[in-house]
Amino acid sequence: QVQLVESGGGLVQAGGSLRLSCAASGRTFSNYAMGWFRQAPGKERDFVARINWSGGSTYYADSVKGRFTISRDNAKNTIYLQMNSLKPEDTAVYYCNAGGSTYSSYPGDYWGQGTQVTVSS
């Protein structure tokens, strides 16, 4: 029931910032916990951040805590990932995900197509 489309990826220098967006289709967007995962070449797809249906509860991977902020705008059917103090190890394809548990690193059933984030040193 959910289709997800990411945008906002690109090239950025270490220490810089980038904001990713994920636009969701359908009228049930607000009923899903939403999150971000990332996958570097040759590596597993890893949890980054997740936000509950109301936007009042968030959960972050330790590697991004204090640097990344997840938010959502249910009126626009969109979630965001504000990425600050970017590091080269943040380089990956970032995927939007829907349907997971708010405080879990396990993904839900719905994925976007991914957007590339490259951080140069």
pLDDT in tens, 2-29: 899 999 999 999 999 999 999 998 766 6
With cut-offs at 50, 70 and 90, classify the pLDDT of residue 32.
Answer: confident
Q: Are 118 and 92 in contact (CB under 8 A)?
A: no
Position 31 scores a pLDDT of 72
Q: What is the mean pLDDT of residues 83-109?
A: 93
Q: What is the mean pLDDT of residues 40-68?
A: 93
Name the average pLDDT for the chain: 92
Q: Is pLDDT at 116 greater than 80 in this prediction?
A: yes
Q: Is pLDDT at 77 greater than 90 in this prediction?
A: no
Q: Which of 51, 83, 52 is nearest to 65 (CA)?
A: 83
Strands 110-111 and 92-98: antiparallel
Query: If you search the block for the tokens 């950025």, which residue do you land on?
Result: 12
